[in-house]
Copies of this chain bind each other. A is one copy, B any other.
Amino acid sequence: MFEARLGSTTLLKKIVDALREILSQSTLDCSDSGIQLQAMDNSHVSLVSMLLQNDCFEKYRCDRNISLGLDLKSLSKVLKCASGDDAVTISAPDKADKVQLSFESAGKERTADYELRLLNLDQEHLGIPETDYSCVVIMPAIEFARICRDMTSFSESVVIACSKDGIKFSASGEMGSANIKLSQTSKGDVDLTVEEPVTLSFAGRYLSTFTRATPLSEKVKIGMAADVPLLVEYPIEDYGYIRYYLAPKVDDPDA
């Protein structure tokens, strides 16, 4: 038996919104310690990894490890049927071919139950090696989302250059070019930890997809080092995270 209850549906909505553009279907690996997900995006370029610890839930029970293969578009439709402040219980018996989502309104005069068919998805567990990033930037998630949006209207590639002076995003295309610089501020909005400066080029549309997670966190953490994938991490309160990984473009002359 697997059962997990959240006091509000809002957090679950935000998580599914963060995942459903990058993954159409995915497997949630549920264990005693919480729920994990790890997958390549639909086009097998970037990687996403999610952790939700069991203390995120009002009630959490997982008698045996269970993998729930879900169509995220269907899950998103079900979540749209719920109010943000409905409590939600996700449950599945040990050998399930369905998962149940039950929503309760505050006064309990309305109950809504949804059953979604489980999918049998191939899973490759990719080891993500721990990396020492030579540059780590913590910045407002909304600002990062805005910059990614602005850059992609200029070019498919976004160059990110990080040094002790700040972080600079650049894009250059037919229309012209764009440069946005952020410095470490006394207000502490932008926080830079730079061992060695690094300049890398990335496919802007993946960065934009990652920013679907913006509503989850006030701050986003960006980790970069030469020749390793970029890390874009959105913390989920104190209970976990969504992490996106994207390899730098190698053939880009700006990189």
Contact = CB atoms under 8 A, between A and B. Distances in A.
B109 A175 contact: no
Contacts of A81: 146, 150, 153, 178
Given A109-B183, A109-B190, A114 B176 contact: yes
Contacts of A212: none
Interface string A174-190: 11111111110101011
Contacts of A153: 77, 80-81
Given A77-B153, A81-B153, A153-B77, A71 B175 contact: yes
A180 B107 contact: no
B176 A109 contact: no
A179 to B, nearest CB: 5
Interface residues of A, number: 35
A226 interface: no
A59 interface: no
Nearest to A98: B176
B182 A109 contact: yes
Interface string A96-120: 0010000000010111111111000
How many of these chains are in the complex?
Answer: 3
B110 A177 contact: no
A123 interface: no
Contacts of A179: 112-114
B115 A177 contact: yes
A74 interface: yes
A204 B109 CA distance: 23
Interface string A152-193: 010000000000000000000011111111110101011000
Nearest to A190: B109
29 contacts: A71-B175, A74-B176, A77-B153, A77-B175, A78-B176, A78-B178, A80-B150, A81-B150, A81-B153, A98-B176, A107-B185, A107-B187, A109-B182, A109-B183, A109-B189, A110-B143, A110-B182, A111-B180, A112-B150, A112-B178, A112-B179, A113-B180, A114-B177, A114-B179, A115-B178, A116-B175, A116-B176, A117-B175, A117-B176
What are the nearest 8 A-B pairs in CB distance?
A81-B150, A116-B176, A109-B185, A112-B180, A74-B175, A113-B179, A115-B176, A115-B177
